[in-house]
Structure 1
Amino acid sequence: MAKSSRDPSEEMKFKTMQYPLDVKVKFLLMIGVLLAFLLLVFIVNSNSSSPAAYQPPSAQLESWKASSVFSKEVVVVPSTSCPPSSSSSSTSSCSKIPPSLAQALIHYSTSNVTPQQTLKEISVTWKVLEKRSPCNFLVFGLGHDSLMWSALNHGGRTVFLEEDRAWIDQIKQRFPTLESHHVVYDTKVRQAEDLLKVGKREECAVVGDPRSSKCRLALKGMPDEIYEIEWDLIMVDAPTGYFEDAPGRMTALYTAGLMARNRKDGDTDVFVHDVDRLVEDKFSRAFLCDGYMREQQGRLRHFTIPSQTLGASPGDGLFCP
């Protein structure tokens, strides 16, 4: 693999990279439409003659979306519906924006940086979150999109895993409600080809808890709760992988696939960013499996991996179908 010209010391600058104007404009349009929609919901709530007679303005929303020139580009975040109640305090709480969403709106409306993913890439994950949230969402990486993911999974648990302890401290000072953990990686991008061969060994095809796995690719040393929670969504957007001495995402990708297979029941949706790079491309195909791939949009891939505990995997127990 060719060594990147980017110096490792540029990592912190990379985390605060500003995106082109067209991406910023699209994102600000998304925020503007979201605010307009929430205002519409608030007005309808306020003007309703009886809380019991209130109906969500879904018909109005669908009509608006159909006529909007931005309907194909904007991700609309629906408000949380509330049960009818005669209590004035209940009506008041229903009309308020959840604190996590309010914080995200303020941050992204006033910030000169945008999430590392494009709007179309974000939309892939949002479509799944819209159906599955509130849920358990594990994200490899802590960045400028973290507050957004936490807000979109309002009421669920969103946990971030980050390699840079100083970056964690910096983000915690700004957004203390975000839950994050420091993770140490003992690999290098230059080892990727050898690690891909290791991943083909018999011990790496065994489904189980990563902590007890004999596979060199199994990521150990994370807090116990990370292994014990059944994650509904996992996103791999870290660790750093753009130069040869960076840790790379080899173990993160394998471990994400192993955790998904090791859940007791149901599917896990796994998202991988930066699949235009060799490691992310090869390791996601090898350990998340082409047969489980559902969609690719830009540099983001979406896989849906079924539980494979107790030898109940499709494909007669094979790691990939």
Structure 2
Amino acid sequence: MRPKTSQALTFKVLLVGVFFAFLLLFVLRSSLLSSSKENTSSPTTLRTSNAVKESKNTADCSPSCDKIPRTLAQSLIHYATSSITPQQTLKEISVTAKILEKKSPCNFLVFGLGHDSLMWSSLNYGGRTVFLEEDEAWIEQIRHRFPMLESYHVTYDSKVNQAENLMDVGRGHECMTIADPKHSTCQLALKSLPSEVYETKWDLIMVDAPTGYHEDAPGRMTAIYTAGMIARNKEKDETDVFVHDVNRVVEDTFSMAFLCEGYMKKQEGRLRHFRIPSHKDSLERPFCPE
């Protein structure tokens, strides 16, 4: 989730183009809704409305015009002027953006907080996007710049050098049993996340944290397992889960083991996309599809 320091001009131009397209769709949708309301109005209401329109100065904006929401405008300006680009590539970002295009506004949970967080929140405009971050100082920096983002501090009690042992633990019965991760007896389940995480029905989950790039760093083993368990424990419907940095051993092996290769929909670069169904509506469903 942390930014790369090099500037990618082509990427920035394409990213800005994505935001303009998103904003255009927003305005067109608002215009269509406005037209629909006018068409269903009574003749008297329409005559009154038309009279009001004719009395307005021609320089005024018509009722179908909508201002760009302030948060989207801020996001567009930020990415148009920033020399820092998100760590994910355009192709990787596009995988998640396509799902957001279909599902937003929705509930989107992100493990990690960085300079791409404003983008994810904006692409899920009207929905709820929550970020979980282990570095309190980093949270304060981002909050100072983007106070509209909803973020929470979390702690991880496992390290990358424990991954092999935790993989063995994960194969045990207590970890293969579908349960609310908050009350799970599995060592891999994160039980001290903010209450909002356990109480919300998430449509998308992205694991792009914790750090995980050296042996003593808090690895993503528990985040990946918990994301999969949140998806399986949902009352109904599917959950789209994304894991970044799958070029690394932990992200590769744990995503395949606990999000399941059979649930994987796509891999683009270092990003994998899984679609996990609810297991609560079919208690006999195996942990991973056969």
Confirm or deny a common fold (TM above 0.5): yes
Instruction: Give the counterpart of 2:262 among 270, 274, 291.
Output: 291
1:147 aligns with 2:118: yes
Q: Check whether the contact 2:3–2:86 (CA below 8 A) recurs between aligned residues.
A: no
TM-score normalised over the length of structure 2 = 0.86
- 1:240: how far off? 0.4
Match runs of 1:101-112 below 5 Å: 101-112=72-83
TM-score normalised over the length of structure 1 = 0.78
Match runs of 1:62-211 below 5 Å: 79=27, 81-82=29-30, 83=33, 84=35, 85=38, 91=62, 94-211=65-182
1:25 aligns with 2:10: yes
Instruction: Give the counterpart of 1:317 among 276, 285, 290.
Output: 285
Specify the code of the residue in structure 2 equivalent to 1:318: P
Specify the code of the residue in structure 2 equivalent to 1:81: R
- 1:159-204 Cα shifts (integer Å, max 9, x gaps): 0000000000110011000000000000000000000000000000
Matches of 1:90 and 1:230 in 2, distance apart?
39
- 1:294-314 Cα shifts (integer Å, max 9, x gaps): 00000000000000015x15x
Cα distance change on mapping 1:197 and 1:137 into 2, 3 Å: same
Residue 226 of structure 1 aligns with which residue?
A: 197
Residue 250 of structure 1 aligns with which residue?
A: 221
Specify the code of the residue in structure 2 equivalent to 1:185: Y
- 1:81-127 Cα shifts (integer Å, max 9, x gaps): 11124587995574311222111101011111011100000000011
Cα distance change on mapping 1:246 and 1:212 into 2, 3 Å: same
- 1:220-247 Cα shifts (integer Å, max 9, x gaps): 1111121010100000000000000000
Identity fraction in percent: 62
SS of the residue aligned with 1:235?
Answer: strand
Matches of 1:93 and 1:234 in 2, distance apart?
35
- 1:274: how far off? 0.2
Cα distance change on mapping 1:192 and 1:260 into 2, 3 Å: same
Q: Check whether the contact 2:15–2:90 (CA below 8 A) recurs between aligned residues.
A: no
The unaligned stretches of length 5 or more in structure 2 are 39-48, 54-59
Aligned-pair Cα RMSD in Å: 2.2
The unaligned stretches of length 5 or more in structure 1 are 1-13, 42-76
- 1:249-293 Cα shifts (integer Å, max 9, x gaps): 000000000000000100000000000000000000000000000
- 1:32: how far off? 4.5
1:15 aligns with 2:13: no
Matches of 1:149 and 1:168 in 2, distance apart?
16
Specify the code of the residue in structure 1 equivalent to 2:114: G
Cα distance change on mapping 1:263 and 1:103 into 2, 3 Å: same
Q: Check whether the contact 1:81–1:94 (CA below 8 A) recurs between aligned residues.
A: no
Cα distance change on mapping 1:145 and 1:34 into 2, 3 Å: closer
Residue 6 of structure 1 aligns with which residue?
A: none
Matches of 1:36 and 1:268 in 2, distance apart?
26
